[in-house]
Amino acid sequence: NTSRPVVLLTTPLLPSLQVAVERDFTTVPLWQAADRAAVLALHASDVRAIVTTSFVGADANLIAALPNLEIITSFGVGYDSIDIAAAKARGVRVTNTPGVLCEGVADCALALLLAVSHRICEADRFVRAGRWPQGTFGLGRSPAGKTCGIVGMGGIGRAVAKRAEAFGMRIAYHGPRRKDDVAYPYYADLVALAAVSDYLVLALPGGADTVHTVNAAVLAALGPQGVLINVARGSVVDEVALVQALQDGMIAGAGLDVFEDEPDVPAALLGMDNVVLLPHIGSATEETRNAMGELTFANLRAWADGAPLLTEVL
Ligand code: 8YV
């Protein structure tokens, strides 16, 4: 049916989202194309929408190749992989999936915090290696009474704060500005926040403005008992400085769901027992991903119906 709007898919989608998009739209699966340029050239003038993800995004070249593009709807809250300036310059609207993943990503942040502190993954390896009969496992550390510094007090940061409070932690935060509706102590200076924090949890957006926000100075301030948790973007941490800080004992440990060059993880981290490494699974539960899929589709449907978009990136 050629009267249905043509939607370009940059990557395989969550199956339920894929089914919904294919039911209502004509799809061009760019990710399946052996010759991307040829597929783009063939469909360029027909494509009016892109469905993409935070991981794949949409760059300026792709936007420029599609003269009748009206909307980019992305599965994910982060839009650092989408060239927003290029989209805006063309009047192309962009939507993301804020809100629905905050609880799930915050769960993952606390899972990392507890796993590093209580040495859960290390202890699991100890049991699997058959070492328990030869001796007891060492001690971890308790988060209660410690300070959880949160970088980025948006939806995810707030969900982290709520959970960390339930574990008996003090909360403090840093971001570009103090939030009027947040009572926790605010630190305009990230080094100052790191200095009072036992755990530093990163929940800030990626993109050009936040590259290497966590650098050697921040890690030094976090200190030898400090733990870094990153569920944001790899780009917000100077990964070379982080590896160095872990090797030198400048910080105690790290829980990382994201990396600078995914899926590549610095080899030096693989042998460290005080580090927990995840393959970018913060939003990867059935409940969260289904909600993200529904919101992604609702935005696409609203655009096709000429209705207000639900969650437009402005
Ligand atoms: C997803 C994400 O892993 O929402 C984000 O910004 O990074 C994640 O939720 C991603 O969108 C899936 O590709």
Cα 55 to ligand 1 centroid, rounded to whole Å: 6
Cα 201 to ligand 1 centroid, rounded to whole Å: 18
Residue nearest to atom 4 of ligand 1 (CA): 76
> Which one of 10, 18, 55 would you pick to mutate in the ligand 1 pocket, going by the greatest count of ligand atoms within 8 A of its CB?
55
* Span 274-314, pLDDT tens digits: 999 999 999 999 999 999 999 999 999 999 999 999 999 99
Residue 20 lies in a domain: yes
Active site amino acids: 233, 262, 280
Report d(CA 209, CA 206) in Å as an integer.
Answer: 7
Q: For the chain, 314 residues long, give each residue's pLDDT as a single digit of tens.
A: 447 999 999 999 999 999 999 999 999 999 999 999 999 999 999 999 999 999 999 999 999 999 999 999 999 999 999 999 999 999 999 999 999 999 999 999 999 999 999 999 999 999 999 999 999 999 999 999 999 999 999 999 999 999 999 999 999 999 999 999 999 999 999 999 999 999 999 999 999 999 999 999 999 999 999 999 999 999 999 999 999 999 999 999 999 999 999 999 999 999 999 999 999 999 999 999 999 999 999 999 999 999 999 999 99
Supply the Cα-derived Rg of the chain in whole angstroms. Answer: 21
Instruction: Check whether residue 188 and residue 117 sit in a common domain.
Output: yes
Instruction: Check whether residue 130 and residue 53 sit in a common domain.
Output: no
Residue 22 lies in a domain: yes
Contacts of 199 (CB under 8 A, 6+ apart): 113, 117, 143, 146, 147, 148, 149, 164, 169, 226, 227, 228, 229
Sort strands 71-75 and 47-53 into parallel, antiparallel or unpaired.
parallel
Residue nearest to atom 1 of ligand 1 (CA): 76
Residue type, 227: V
Atom of ligand 1 nearest to the CA of 78: 6
Cα 26 to ligand 1 centroid, rounded to whole Å: 24
Instruction: Check whether residue 129 and residue 36 sit in a common domain.
Output: no
Q: Three-state DSSP class for 189?
A: coil
Instruction: Check whether residue 30 and residue 138 sit in a common domain.
Output: no
CATH number at residue 261: 3.40.50.720
* Span 260-277, pLDDT tens digits: 999 999 999 999 999 999
How many CB atoms within 10 Å of residue 180? 6
Cα 81 to ligand 1 centroid, rounded to whole Å: 10
Counted domains in the chain:
2
Residues in the chain: 314
Domain of 64, in residue numbers = 6-100+287-305
How many CB atoms within 10 Å of residue 107? 17
Atom of ligand 1 nearest to the CA of 79: 6
Residue 202 lies in a domain: yes
Instruction: Check whether residue 183 and residue 254 sit in a common domain.
Output: yes
Report d(CA 239, CA 249) in Å as an integer.
Answer: 15
Report d(CA 221, CA 197) in Å as an integer.
Answer: 9
ipTM metric: 0.97
Q: Would you give the DSSP letter of residue 14?
A: P
Atom of ligand 1 nearest to the CA of 11: 13
Q: What distance lies between CA 161 and its chain's CA centroid?
A: 17
Instruction: Check whether residue 56 and residue 122 sit in a common domain.
Output: no
Report d(CA 190, CA 192) in Å as an integer.
Answer: 5
Sort strands 227-230 and 253-256 into parallel, antiparallel or unpaired.
parallel
Instruction: Check whether residue 60 and residue 140 sit in a common domain.
Output: no
Contact 145, 167 (CB under 8 A): no
List the beta bridge partners of residue 229.
201, 255
What is the CB < 6 Å shell around ligand 1?
53-55, 75-78, 101, 280, 283
